[in-house]
Structure 1
Amino acid sequence: MLLVNEKDLVVPGQVLAENEYYPGRGTFKEDNRICSSFVGLVSVRNKKINVIPLQSKYIPKRGDVVIGEITDIRFSMWGLDINSPYTGLLPASEVFGKDKRELESVFDIGDVLLLRVVDVDEVKKVKLGLKGRGLGKFRDGILVYITPTKVPRLIGKRGSMINMVKEKTKCDIVVGQNGVVWIKGEAGMERIAEKVILMIDREAHTSGLTDRVRELLDRLTGVEPDIQVEESEGTEKPEIPESEDFEEGSDESEDVVVSPESEDFEEGSDESEDLEVEPENVKVDSPGSESMEEGTDTPDAEEGDGEAGDAEVKDENNSER
C-alpha cells in the first residue's frame, strides 16, 4: 500500500509504502516497510519508489559523461574537480597512449574538459578518459553548478527545456551528468542563461516551471510573448498544460548530455578527431559504437560496381559480334 503521493516532500525515516512496492534510490526497506533516506521528493515508477534528494553531491559511476576542471598536475596524470567528494584522475596514457610528453603542453591547471568516467574502484578512485564521441577541451565560456539530481529536469523531456534556453539565448550549452553546465555565447546572453538555469535548479520540484522559464527568457531577452487569444473577443484564454513532469528519477534522461556545437570545443584525443558531434542533445554511445563507426568502408558495394562494369564490357563485345 502506497502511503505517499507522487512529488510529496518526505523526510528521512518516513514510511512511504508497504508490501507490494519495491525500494529504489534514496530509500531503504525495514521489515515490510519502505522508508526514505533523504529529505526529498517521491518518485514512483512501476511499483518502485525513489526519493530524489533536494540537495546532493555527485556520486560517480562508470559510463557517466562529466565536465571537470583541472586542479592538479602530477607525474603521469591530471587531477580534476568533478563536483564530487571524490577527485577525478585522467591518466596520461588516456591521452598520449605509450608516448611520453609534457603534461602541461596539452592540458594545464584551470582547463575545462568533457570526459567519460572509465572506472570507479571500491575506494571511489575515479578514473577518467577522453576516448569517445565529442570528448575534449572547452575554450572560454562559463561554468554553472547545479544539483546533479536535477540535471534531467534542466534537460527536459527529449531536451525540450535546454533547447528552449539555447534557442532564446543563442548560446552553446553542454550539461554534464555531474551537475556542471558549460555555457558559451555573448557575455550578456551567458548571464541570462546562467540565471535561468539556476532558477530551474531552485524550482525543479514545482509545477508550471516550463511556462515560468519561457516568460523569464522572453522578459530578459526583450522578446514580446505571443498572444494567441485576444481578451476582447470575450473568450477565456486556454490554460497551457505543464509539458514536463518532474523526471529526475527517470532512467530515460539520466544519460542525456548536450553536446557542443561550436568551434569553442577541442577534441582531446586523436582517436576521437574523426568523430562528429551530434547537433542536438545526445545520448552517449557505448564504446562498442565507435568500432562500428570506424569500419564504415563498404567493400561489397565496390565489388558490385566492378561486376557491373564487367557486364557492360560483355554487352559491348556481344554487340560487336
Structure 2
Amino acid sequence: MTGVIKVGILIKEKSIVVPGDIIAEGMDYLPSLGCFREGKHVVSERLGLLNVDNRFIKVIPLTGSYVPKVGDTVIGEVKDMSFGAWFIDIGCAYDGTLMVRDATEFVEKDADLAQVYNFGDFVVAKIVKITRHSSIHITTKGPGLRKIQGGKVISVTPSKVPRVIGKQGSMVSMIKDGTNCTIVVGQNGKIWINGKNPDDELLATEAILKVENESHIDGLTDKIKAFLEKKK
C-alpha cells in the first residue's frame, strides 16, 4: 500500500516554528520572509510566527530590531538638528534625516528650526530614500504625516507590528472603535495613541500590549474583542 503524500501547509498558521521546520510541501506555496524553498519543501530559517497570506508564506521573528525600508511609515523623536535638517530617532542603527524641504511646515530661510520641530517632539514620517551608506531620508509631507500633538507614544517589538495592525487593518480598527482613540502604527514599532481622555488612551495601550504579548495565541482577535467589551 502506497503511503499518503502530504501536499500543502503542514503546520497550522500562527504556530511558532523553528529553523529547519518543514512548513509546506508542493509548489502551490511561495516562500518569502524568514523561509526558503528546498526542493518541494518550504522550510523555516528562523524562530518565529508562521503567517500565510494567500500563496505566500513568511515567518515573522518573535524578537528583533527594526530594519528600515523605503515606503515605511515610522514614528520618531527629534534628537538633533543642524542647519537645514533635523535628525530623528526611528529606532534603528541610523537616525532618519528630515531636510527642511521635506517638512510639513513652511520654513523661512534662516528660521530657528526648533520653532518647527523641537528636541523631544515626535513626528509621523515616511522613509523616502536609503543610500548605500545607510543614510535614511524621511519626509513629513503627505497624507497622515505630521508633527504629533497630544496623546502618547508607546513602543512594541517591531516584528509584532503586523499582528497589531491585523489583516487588512482589522485588529487596530477594532481597538480604535473600542477605545474611541486615534491610533497610528509605525512600522518601527512606535505607536501614537490619542484619545478624548487618559482612560481611553490607557485602555488602548493595554489592548495593544496584550496583542504584543499574546501574538502567538489562536483566536486573538476574539480575545481582544472580549477584553475591550469587558473594560467598557
TM-score interval, normalised by the smaller of the two chains: 0.7 to 0.9
**Matched residues in 2 for 1:184 and 1:104: separation?**
23
Q: Which residue in the other structure is 2:219 paired with?
A: 208
Which of the residues 84, 92, 102 maps onto 1:76?
84
Q: Tell me how far apart the structure 1 counterparts of residues 51 and 170 of structure 2 sit (CA, whole Å).
A: 21
Rounded to whole Å, the distance in 2 between the matches of 1:160 and 1:33 is 31
Q: What's the TM-score, normalizing by structure 2?
A: 0.83
Residue pair 1:115, 1:130 contacting (<8 A) in 2 also: yes
Partners of 2:183 and 2:230 in 1: how far apart?
20
TM-score (structure 1 length as normaliser): 0.61
DSSP 3-state at the match of 2:43: strand
Instruction: Tell me the secondary structure at the aligned position of residue 90 of structure 1.
Output: strand
- Give the match for residue 74 of structure 2: 66
In structure 1, how many angstroms separate the alpha carbons of the residues matched to 2:31 and 2:133?
25
Once superposed, what is the RMSD of the aligned Cα atoms? 2.5
* Deviation string, structure 1 residues 220-272 (Cα, Å, up to 9, x no partner): 23xxxxxxxxxxxxxxxxxxxxxxxxxxxxxxxxxxxxxxxxxxxxxxxxxxx
| Cα separation, 2, equivalents of 1:38 and 1:18 | 18
> How big is the shift at 1:55?
1.5
Matched, 1:39 2:47: yes
Q: Distance in 2 between matches of 1:217 and 1:18?
A: 39
Distance in structure 2 (CA, Å) of the matches to 1:158 and 1:49: 17
CA 1:7 to 1:209, structure 2 compared with 1: closer, same or farther past 3 Å? closer
Instruction: Give the alignment of 1:179-258 within 5 angstroms.
Output: 179-185=189-195, 186-221=197-232
1:165 is aligned to: 175
Aligned to 1:8: 15
Displacement of 1:9: 1.7
Number of residue equivalences: 221
**Structure 2 counterpart of 1:225:** none
Whole-Å separation in 1 of the counterparts to 2:110 and 2:40: 58
- 3-state SS in 2 of match to 1:59: coil
In the alignment, what sits opposite 1:146?
Answer: 156
Q: CA deviation at 1:199?
A: 0.2
Identity of aligned pairs, percent?
Answer: 40
Stretches of structure 1 that go unaligned for 5 or more consecutive residues are: 222-321
Give the aligned residue type for 2:109.
Answer: D
User: How far does residue 219 in structure 1 lie from its aligned partner after superposition?
Assistant: 2.6
Whether the aligned pair in 1 keeps the contact of 2:16 and 2:216 (CA below 8 Å) is no
User: Contact 1:57/1:85 (CA < 8 Å) preserved in 2?
Assistant: no
> Does the aligned pair in 2 maintain the 1:76–1:92 contact within 8 Å?
yes
Deviation (angstroms), 1:129 = 0.7
Moved more, 78-87 or 146-155: 146-155
Cα distance, 1:32 vs structure 2: 6.4
Deviations for 1:61-111, whole angstroms, at most 9, x for unmatched residues? 111111111112233321112122332111123235783422112111110
CA distance in 2, matches of 1:4, 1:151: 25
Choose 23-32 or 183-192, whichever is displaced more: 23-32
1:134-156 deviations in Å (ceiling 9; x for gaps): 21111121111123333232233
Structure (1/2) with the larger helix percentage? 1
Q: Residue 4 of structure 1 aligns to which amino acid in structure 2?
A: L
- SS of 1:214's partner is helix
Return the index of the structure with the highest Cα Rg.
1
Question: Which 5+ residue runs of structure 2 have no aligned equivalent?
Answer: 1-6
Counterpart selection for 2:32 from 24, 41, 51: 24
Deviation at 1:195, TM superposition (A): 0.8
Offset at residue 173 of structure 1 (A): 1.5
Matched residue SS, 1:55: coil
